Structure 1
């Protein structure tokens, strides 16, 4: 995983997006679909990988939007 990748995950009753290497969520949402959309947009703009975690924390999807490192 590259520093700066985007992770969408569930924590404390909310769906969140965090940029890898950061300590806080970039944003939060009650709806998973909203968090996924925002996380995807963040990853596209940064040209990094978007990791989507299920509610248990397991990676269920991964999509790379930039060149391989």
Structure 2
């Protein structure tokens, strides 16, 4: 995931959202739905992609809020 995109994930018993490339979460706490809403707003503000992971760390969903289409092979 490119630096600047947003990741919402579960770690140490809490839901968190952070900017990819950062070592620390920008927001911590709440339910998955609440933290997903925080991450969505962060991604919209940055015109970035938002990756939402499940409790086990697997990607559950991705949403893009700008810079479409991504030019990636796959």
The two structures have a TM-score, normalised by structure 2, of 0.88
Cα RMSD of the aligned pairs, angstroms, is 1.0
Q: Secondary structure at the match of 2:39?
A: helix
Q: Which has the larger radius of gyration?
A: 2
5+ long unaligned stretches in structure 1: none
- TM-superposed CA distance for 1:30, in Å, is 2.9
Distance 1:19 1:13 in 2: 19
Aligned length: 69
> Which contiguous aligned blocks of 4+ residues in structure 1 show a shift greater than 3 angstroms?
none
5+ long unaligned stretches in structure 2: none
Match of 2:2 in 1: 2
Deviations along 1:15-44, one digit per CA (max 9) or x if unpaired, are: 000100101000111311110000000000
